[in-house]
């Protein structure tokens, strides 16, 4: 396990600047840091990368002043910032493929260090579904678990409400000052007493539709397992369940009558091998052996000092010929990175560099399974 | 696969006499036939076996006249008798551990040769459960399956009713003239048009509580799989599901809300690995690959001719000493047959013979897993 120490304020500002800059998502953030050996070096390399990637307009890099302002405003609202690798950063979230480099936490950050289980489900839940979610959340809370959910109407709200006293975590799709739905602002304030609200988005970020699936990876990523209570076909809860499966977390589904379409998703999960649960004991029996093991953290995180060249020294840049050969192969149809290497006869490093440049220039779309296309 | 031919009327009478004699259940029937090499030889050996086993009163052997009378009365009511190994005897039922040596079938015996799926469940079913059972039975019927059930109130009756036109089988716990519950006599008459009623019990046998679990092994034994729709804890449907599992048949369970105790059994089955089903397509997908394979029948059945000594010639009988040593070891506490052999220092054959004698004398209880005790 890596040693986990606090960043200096300077370092924290750098992290925030990099993740808040244009076209930098968690994946690109980690690629850049790996490539340049540190956050500061990555920040310095951004303009050149964007230019070589063919960015239409200069890349907007989040300034030091903007970062300071965000920290100041957020802290005034009781929000703390934790970066990947810091002691307060939740250890399971650290293990997912694309962990948020920085999370903003309001409430009791200690709650994040306790064993977390997510409960999610339909917004238009049935009375029975709501009752079940309350019972499950209450029993898990009594058993010492903290309940994670998404503050949505229906199942999410029921799960939070029933675990206010024992601790519950709301993961937000927007900034801490943009609570959705607004009717749950008072629920959120209540849950901050023993629990916390978590967001990877900037202050003042209004959540849009595609921020919710992105947020869902944090709900599952924080948790040992995800319990789905009522979910129609193609619902957001099924996305959370899929992400949980991809992250190697337990997926639990509550059986329901096939005659109610709100159970189509949950029963479908059961058919795919989710663990059926009817009471908290089922969940506890499945996750207790997992909690016994310490999470298998990656062995090295961001170094505490900027040490360019130590982790991954930037290779000589691709030549103009290579760059042309690689970009010519790209188009709107997704191709695999392996094929790009083979067909371009460029080195894998050159291909990765060109892709990183295009990514930062906002011209690349990354699909699953190593597939990329031009935007 | 064994060649399957019809018995002569003489042979059929012998089979009926042996299985209808006192203390002869299916297991003892098969043990005897194996030991004596044929049904007639087993019949002849019965009085001696019972005497040596210490029967309190002379063993009542079903007489030739009684057998003729049963055949006559039953046939007048449209009942046909099929013995294990005959072409009409259902091939899957033949594969279970303790198949009924003789089954009495009313209606269309041809229905038994089609692919059979059982639907069972609560007597006090919910409206949703009844509706689901009807839909499932109707859809399976339309897909060419014959629905097997137990003629009980609730789920069973719903399954039969919805598959009257496509064929449905009722397995009875009593004789063909002792329909339980009586309110389902007209349902039974209707299902005989395209389907059949099956019983292993004698004509005029009034079903008692413990005949129902025994009957359940035939419901599952006939079927490729058993679908359980609503079942409370400790319900008869769970017995059928357990037997189905032991017989290597597919066990399907319909998910239901954990808040309704009628789903406790079915959700419990899901936790134990039953296949969740919400529509007929789920069942068909699971059993189609099985139907593709021909059932793996035992290679030899009862020989068509009586051939004592060919299959298993009776060994020299145990000596008086051995007999005493073996019976002394037995008491009301179940012991394993292996332990009996070891502790008595008798041959396994002697132990088996003494146990068979005690069994026929009505003094032995056989538990699962090779355990026996004295009654």
DSSP result, A317-365 = PPPHHHHHHHHHH--SS-EEHHHHHHHHT--HHHHHHHHHHHHHTT-EE
Percent of chain A's residues with pLDDT above 70: 93
Tell me the per-residue pLDDT of A20-77, one tens digit each, with 9 for 90 and over. Answer: 999 899 999 999 999 899 999 999 999 888 888 888 788 899 999 999 999 999 999 9
Mean pLDDT of A363-367: 85
Rounded percentage of chain B residues whose pLDDT exceeds 90: 69
Instruction: Count interface pairs A-B at CB distance under 8 A.
Output: 57
Asked whether the beta carbons of residue B278 and residue A258 sit closer than 8 angstroms, the reply is yes
Higher local confidence (pLDDT), B8 or A352:
B8
Task: Indicate whether B298 pLDDT > 90.
Answer: no
- What is the total residue count of chain A? 375
For the cut 80, the answer to whether the pLDDT of residue B38 exceeds it is: yes
**In Å, how far from its chain's centre is CA A258?**
33
Please report residues of A whose CB lies closer than 8 A to that of B131: 259
Chain B: nearest CA to A239, how far in angstroms?
Answer: 21
Has this prediction a pTM greater than 0.90?
A: no
Q: What percent of chain A has pLDDT over 90?
A: 69
Check residues B295 and B156 and name the one with the higher pLDDT.
B156
Provide the sign of the torsion angle of the four alpha carbons B66, B69, B75, B77, taken in this order.
negative
Q: Output A338 or B297, whichever has higher pLDDT.
A: A338
The CA R_g of chain B, rounded to the nearest whole Å, is 22
Cβ distance B255 to A278 less than 8 Å, yes or no, reads no
Max CA pair span of chain B: 64
Q: Which residues of A touch B264 (CB under 8 A)?
A: 278
Q: Quick check: A3 pLDDT over 50?
A: yes
Region B177-199 average pLDDT: 97
Which of these, B276, B126, B238, lies nearest to A128 by C-alpha position?
A: B126
Q: Do A276 and B271 touch (CB under 8 A)?
A: yes
CA distance A341 to chain B (A): 42
pLDDT number for residue A359: 86
Which range is least confidently modeled, A319-328, B80-89, B147-156, B276-285? A319-328
Question: Please, what is the angle between helix A264-271 and helix A236-246, to 10°?
Answer: 20
What is the rounded distance in angstroms from the CA atom of residue A368 to the CA atom of residue A239? 15
B131, B267, B273, B279, best to mutate vs chain A, most A CBs in 10 Å: B267
Q: From CA A226, how far away is CA A360, in angstroms rounded?
A: 33
The span from the CA of B370 to the CA of A167, in Å, is 53
* Whether B276 and A255 lie within 8 Å, measured CB to CB: yes
pLDDT > 70: percent of chain B: 93
User: How far is the C-alpha of A154 from the C-alpha of A80, rounded, in Å?
Assistant: 29
Distance (Å) from the alpha carbon of B268 to chain A's nearest alpha carbon: 9
**Closest to A270 (Cα-Cα) out of B267, B2, B81, B333:** B267
Question: What ipTM was predicted for this assembly?
Answer: 0.77
Count Cβ neighbours within 10 Å for each residue of B332-349 and write b for 16 or more, e otherwise. Answer: eebbebeebbeebebeeb
Cα Dmax for chain A: 64
Which carries the bigger pLDDT value, residue A10 or residue B59? A10
What is the pLDDT averaged over residues B196-225?
A: 96
Asked if A278 and B267 come within 8 Å (Cβ–Cβ), the reply is: yes
What mean pLDDT is reported for chain B? 90
pLDDT > 50? residue B305: no
Closest-CA residue of chain A to B286: A271
Of B132, B256, B271, the CB nearest to A282: B271
- Min Cα distance B224 → chain A (Å) is 19
Q: Is residue A1's pLDDT more than 50?
A: no
B60-113 confidence digits (pLDDT tens): 999 999 999 999 999 999 999 999 999 999 999 999 999 999 999 999 999 999
Measured between CA atoms, how close is A129 to chain B, in angstroms?
Answer: 8
Q: What is the mean pLDDT of residues B147-155?
A: 97
DSSP per residue, B211-244: HHHHHHHHHHHH-SEEEEES--TT-HHHHHHHHH
Q: Say yes or no for a CB contact (<8 Å) between B258 and A255.
A: yes
Residue A146 — very low, low, confident or very high, per pLDDT cuts 50/70/90? very high
- Residue B169 phi, psi dihedral angles, 5° rounding: -115, 130
- Residue B221 reports pLDDT greater than 90: yes
- Give me the pLDDT at residue B311, please: 41
Phi, psi dihedral angles at B190 (to 5 degrees): -65, -40
Q: Average of pLDDT values for B180-209?
A: 97
Q: Using a CB-CB distance cutoff of 8 angstroms, which residues of chain B are in contact with residue A276?
A: 255, 267, 270-271, 276
* pLDDT reading at B145 higher than 50: yes
* Cα angle for residues B55, B57, B58 (degrees, 5° grid): 90
Chain A positions touching chain B (beta carbons under 8 Å): 128, 131-132, 254-259, 263-264, 266-267, 270-271, 275-276, 278-279, 282
Which residues of A are less than 8 Å from B257 in CB distance? 128, 132, 255-257
């Amino acid at each position: 396990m890596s040693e986990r120490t606090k960043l200096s304020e300077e370092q924290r500002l750098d992290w925030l600047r990099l993740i808040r800059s244009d076209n930098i998502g968690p994946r690109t953030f980690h690629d850049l840091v790996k490539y340049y050996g540190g956050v500061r070096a990555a920040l310095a390399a951004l303009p050149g990368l964007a230019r070589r990637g063919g960015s239409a307009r200069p890349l907007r890099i989040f300034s030091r002043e903007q970062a300071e302002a965000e920290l100041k405003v957020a802290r005034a609202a009781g929000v703390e910032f934790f970066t990947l690798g810091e002691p307060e950063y939740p250890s399971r979230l650290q293990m997912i493929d694309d962990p948020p480099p920085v999370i903003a936490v309001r409430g009791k950050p200690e709650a994040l260090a306790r064993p977390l289980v997510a409960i999610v489900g339909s917004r238009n839940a049935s009375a029975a579904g709501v009752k079940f979610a309350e019972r499950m959340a209450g029993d898990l809370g009594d058993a010492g678990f903290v309940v994670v959910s998404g503050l949505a109407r229906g199942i999410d709200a029921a799960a939070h409400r029933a675990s206010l006293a024992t601790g519950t975590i709301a993961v937000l799709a927007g900034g801490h000052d943009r609570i959705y739905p607004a009717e749950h602002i008072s629920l959120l304030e209540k849950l901050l007493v023993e629990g916390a609200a978590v967001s990877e988005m900037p202050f003042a970020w209004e959540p849009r539709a595609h921020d919710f699936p992105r947020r869902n990876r944090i709900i599952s990523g924080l948790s040992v397992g995800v319990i789905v209570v009522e979910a129609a076909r193609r619902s957001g809860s099924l996305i959370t369940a899929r992400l949980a499966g991809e992250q190697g977390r337990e997926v639990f589904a509550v059986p329901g009558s096939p005659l109610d379409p709100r159970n189509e998703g949950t029963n479908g999960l059961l058919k795919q091998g989710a663990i059926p649960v009817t009471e908290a004991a089922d969940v506890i029996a499945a996750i207790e052996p997992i909690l016994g093991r310490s999470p298998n953290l990656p062995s090295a995180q961001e170094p505490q000092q900027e040490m360019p060249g130590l982790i991954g020294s930037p290779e000589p840049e691709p030549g103009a010929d290579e760059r042309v050969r690689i970009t010519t192969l790209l188009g709107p149809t997704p191709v695999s990175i392996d094929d790009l290497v083979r067909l371009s006869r460029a080195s894998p490093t050159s291909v990765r560099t060109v892709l990183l440049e295009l990514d930062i220039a906002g011209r690349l779309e990354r699909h699953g399974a190593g597939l990329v296309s031009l935007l």
